[in-house]
Amino acid sequence: MFSYRHAFHAGNHADVLKHITLIATLRHLMQKEAGLTLIDTHAGAGLYRLDGDYTETGGEAKDGVVKLLGALRPAGKPAIAGAPAIDDYLDLVTSYNPSGALRVYPGSPFVMHHLLRAESRDKLKLFELHPTDSKLLAGNIAQLDAGRQIAVARQDGFEGIKAFLPPPPSATGSKRAAVLIDPSYEIKTDYAKVSACVQEQLKRFPTGTFLVWYPIIPRPEAHDLPRRLKTVSNQNKRPWLNATLAIGQDPTHGPEDRPGLTASGMFVVNPPHTLKAVLQAALPQLLDLLGRGRGKGQTLESGG
Ligand code: SAM
């Protein structure tokens, strides 16, 4: 079960969609003074080298963040303004690369850490089960000297989340939380676990914001997941939003080449009311800049 390493995929088109949606959601939630509990049930290693062995093998960032940066922030030329959510994401990524060259990619724990507000108002709980990646994550987080603001656990995130929802009240008495659920779907039971987790946690904490990443692949469980999440949201009378991005086939690939992941989605339960407009502006541009060939497209729907 531990063959998945996110380092092979860091900064790919799926991370771009996931992290843009995450940042836009948190930006809105953080407009309110009250503290937030952030939970990342499948955190990964936190930081990834884009010039390391893993990405040279996979090279997936080339069709994701590298391509986006090359188009909107061309080296030695003036930056081109993108949709605000894309610019916000690129600013965050480049803040981890002060030399200008893109060497490091911030995974979701570092995306969230970047947005955490001072004085420990917000808390971040990270779960990662892989023996190597949980060690890497703990080491990367330790360097931040974040004290008790960030907690790392080598634990099953589907179980660990139960201890943190509903979240403790903030100084103003309100309870607020956002949860990223981003499994590797290495084992097909992950699909059912995701919808069961959202269902259970909505019962415990109906106003929490849940962000679920999922792959779009020809597999019945994957196909079913957004449908199930819609049902769970509707049954609980919660608003939802579903955004997908498909970059399509690589036209340079031959019929024998493995296509790799070409499409994914983000399903958000209790999205900020601003998120739809933000993604409506960002998705067409992402498609324009990252789309490759047959099968490319983007969708955005909402309900509740
Ligand atoms: N959220 C990360 C990001 O955006 O940078 C990427 C996470 S990666 C897609 C999924 C991670 O979940 C892998 O590192 C994997 O080892 C870990 N994992 C798999 N099953 C898990 C479980 N039940 N609980 C916690 N982590 C798990």
Distance 42 CA to ligand 1 centre (A): 3
Distance 43 CA to ligand 1 centre (A): 5
Overall average pLDDT of the 70-98 stretch:
95
Question: Which residue among 6, 112, 197, 211 has the greatest number of ligand 1 atoms within 8 angstroms of its CB, and so is best to mutate?
Answer: 6
The residues, any chain, with a CB within 8 Å of residue 50's CB and separated by 6 or more, are 10, 11, 61, 66, 102, 103, 104, 105
Domain regions of the chain by residue span: 6-303
pLDDT higher than threshold 60 for residue 62: yes
Q: Does the Cβ of 183 fall within 6 Å of ligand 1?
A: yes
Q: Does the Cβ of 133 fall within 6 Å of ligand 1?
A: yes
Q: How far apart are CA 301 and CA 244, in angstroms?
A: 9
Q: Does the Cβ of 157 fall within 6 Å of ligand 1?
A: yes
Distance 184 CA to ligand 1 centre (A): 6
Residue tagged active-site, from 51, 182, 250, 288: 182
Closest protein CA for atom 4 of ligand 1: 108
pLDDT higher than threshold 80 for residue 150: yes
Q: Does the Cβ of 158 fall within 6 Å of ligand 1?
A: yes
Q: Does the Cβ of 193 fall within 6 Å of ligand 1?
A: no
Please, are residues 241 and 282 in contact by the beta-carbon 8 Å criterion?
no
Closest protein CA for atom 6 of ligand 1: 44
Distance 110 CA to ligand 1 centre (A): 14
Paired with 181 in beta bridges are 212
pLDDT band at 8 (very low <50, low <70, confident <90, very high): confident
CATH fold group of domain 6-303: Rossmann fold (3.40.50)
Cis, peptide link before residue 167, omega less than 30° from 0: no
CA 15, 21, 27, 30 dihedral sign is negative
pLDDT, residue 43, reads 98
Crossing angle, helix 275-290 and helix 13-29, to 10 degrees?
A: 160
87 is catalytic: no
Question: Which residue among 2, 50, 55, 128 has the greatest number of ligand 1 atoms within 8 angstroms of its CB, and so is best to mutate?
Answer: 128
State the CB neighbour count (10 A cutoff) for residue 220.
9
Q: How far apart are CA 124 and CA 23, in angstroms?
A: 14
Q: pTM for the complete prediction?
A: 0.96
Two tokens at 25? 């959601």
Q: How far apart are CA 90 and CA 226, in angstroms?
A: 28
pLDDT higher than threshold 70 for residue 56: no
Overall average pLDDT of the 104-126 stretch:
93
pLDDT band at 58 (very low <50, low <70, confident <90, very high): very low
State the CB neighbour count (10 A cutoff) for residue 4.
17
Distance 215 CA to ligand 1 centre (A): 14
173-223 residue pLDDT tens: 899 999 999 999 999 999 999 999 999 999 999 999 999 999 999 999 999
